[in-house]
Amino acid sequence: MLQLSKTLRLLLLFILSVIILYYSSSVLIPLTFGGVLAMLLMPLSNWMERIGLNRGISSFISLFVFAAVLAGLVLLLNWQIGDLLKDFSKLQDQLMKLFEQIKDYVRSQFGITTRQQEKILQEQQSGGMEKVAGIAIGTLTSTMSILVSSVLVMVYVFLFLYFRGHFKNFVLRLVDTPNHATALKIMHKASRVTQQYITGLGIMIVMLWVMYGIGFSIVGIKNAIFFAILCGILEIVPFAGNITGTSITVLIAFAQGGSIDMVIGVLVTYAIVQFTQTYVLEPLVVGNQVNLNPLFTILIIVIGEAVWGISGMVLAIPLLGMFKVLCDHVEPLKPYGYLIGNQNAKEDKSFFKKYFGDKDDN
Residue 286 sits at φ, ψ, to 5 deg, of -90, -35
Identify the helix (H) or strand (E) that includes residue 51.
none
Whole-number pLDDT of residue 66: 92
Burial (Cβ within 10 Å: 0-12, 13-18, ≥19) of residue 120: exposed
Please tell me the least confidently modeled range out of 157-161, 273-277, 316-320: 273-277
Please provide the average confidence, as pLDDT, over all residues in the chain: 79
pLDDT at residue 98 in the model: 67
Q: Measured between alpha carbons, how far is residue 262 from residues 102, 244, 249, 274, 309 in Å?
A: 19, 18, 11, 18, 33
Q: How far apart are CA 249 and CA 261, in angstroms?
A: 14
Name the residue type at position 359.
K
Q: Sign of dihedral through CA atoms 33, 39, 45, 49? A: positive
pLDDT band at 133 (very low <50, low <70, confident <90, very high): very low
pLDDT band at 129 (very low <50, low <70, confident <90, very high): very low
Say yes or no to pLDDT of 128 above 50.
no
Q: Give me the percent of the chain exceeding a pLDDT of 90.
A: 21
Q: Residue 294 above 50 pLDDT?
A: yes
Residue 267 has pLDDT above 70, yes or no: yes
223 φ/ψ sector (left φ>0, alpha ψ -120 to 50, else beta): left
Q: Strand ranges (DSSP E) for the chain?
A: none
pLDDT tens digits along 177-222:
888 999 999 999 989 888 888 888 888 888 888 999 998 888 888 7
